Amino acid sequence: MRGGLSRRARWWALGGVAAMSLGAVGVYGVQALQDHQERTTGASAAELAVSLPDGPHITFRNTASGEGYGMVSSVALADPDGARQISGQACDRVDVAGEYLSCLRTLRGIPTTFETQVYDYGQDLGGSPVTTWPLAGIPSRTRVSDDGLVATTAFVTGHSYAADSFSTETTVKGAGDPDGRDYGNLQDFEITVDGEPLTAIDRNVWGVTFAGGDRFFATVASGGTTWLMEGDLAARTMTSVATEAECPSVSPDGSRVAFKVRRDTGGDMVGGSGVHWDVAVLDLASGERTVIELERGIDDQLEWLDEDTLLYGLPREEAGWDADVFALEAEADAEPELFIEHAWSPSVVR
């Protein structure tokens, strides 16, 4: 051999690197499993109930440590501080409308995979889903329409809307209906901004909210700009309504859309990234926008509690795996109030 390593030595070296890499993955996996077990074992930090609340209620992801951590849960709308019913279904994001519940979940393993599960909300959620399909990446957003359409958003690359570079996949499908409605990736729709087609390859779509029939709203981003888009599923089109809007949510009467809006903080928020999200409410008829500045910025898709109040989840600063749901009046100078402790991804069911 004239200098360097022999072929056998190189194979041994490569094998050593692979072994160390696998060992690191194994250590990380064991630690993650231990952390998960610590969160899910023992008595729940929240009061539990045996059955689903009668009448209007809120369904959400339970983040209280102990029994039921990460599971779909419900609490009476009239008593959000009261006991919660645990379903036994683990979800990262959840939404309910009409007869269906959408559950986006992470299946941890080697490799880790992600999927959508849709349940008949009128039946015991301990059973099998009525339909399921794979997600392309990390679960991010989901919404269900009253007539059984399910919208999902997943991060294909990146894992945060605060990142400089990320890519999403947003799809709309029917929840097990016989006609097999599947509108595919909304990125493939005809997208128009101020009367001009948007064909840039960096366009992303996320945060669908259904507005009845074929109508919906969503966020589209390209070149550092985000737009509130109004879409038509049958026509496969999206048209810009306003700029600087993310993760919209249409009000129950359809007259307003609430969304999060970026505020430049000069790098003093979100780990120095300079990204801070406040809440804005747009009146669709007048075009008037009301911005509600928040001390702690949000990164969630808003949910309307009623015609005047919004809900959103906020991770706890001391324990990011735990979260709380806050209520916020949809008016200028409103202050958020704690609504449900140890909860995430709220959905109002009437």
Of the pLDDT bands very low, low, confident and very high (cuts 50, 70, 90), residue 13 is: very low
| The two three-digit tokens of residue 285, written as one number | 């008829």
Give the whole-angstrom CA distance, residue 218 versus residue 198: 15
Least confident piece of the model among 2-16, 58-72, 182-196: 2-16
Average pLDDT over residues 144-157: 95
Of the pLDDT bands very low, low, confident and very high (cuts 50, 70, 90), residue 23 is: very low
Average pLDDT over residues 270-281: 75
- pLDDT of 42 > 90? The answer is no
Which strands sit side by side in the sheet containing 204-210, from one edge to the other? 196-197, 190-193, 237-243, 225-232, 215-222, 204-210
Q: What percent of the chain has pLDDT over 90?
A: 71
What pLDDT, on a 0 to 100 scale, did the predictor assign at position 275? 81
Domain 7-349 has CATH 3.40.1010.10: no
Are 126 and 68 within 8 A, CB to CB? no
Give the whole-angstrom CA distance, residue 38 versus residue 323: 17
Higher per-residue confidence, 223 vs 166? 223
- pLDDT of 194 > 70? The answer is yes
Average pLDDT over residues 120-144: 90
Mean pLDDT for the chain? Answer: 87
Average pLDDT over residues 304-310: 98
Average pLDDT over residues 75-97: 94
Give the whole-angstrom CA distance, residue 240 versus residue 155: 23
Least confident piece of the model among 48-57, 227-236, 270-279: 270-279
Q: Which pTM was predicted?
A: 0.87
Least confident piece of the model among 218-222, 251-255, 317-321, 327-331: 317-321
Least confident piece of the model among 20-34, 62-76, 79-93, 233-247: 20-34
- Classify residue 268 by burial, with Cβ atoms within 10 Å: 0-12, 13-18, 19+: exposed
Q: Residue written as tokens 């959408």?
A: 102
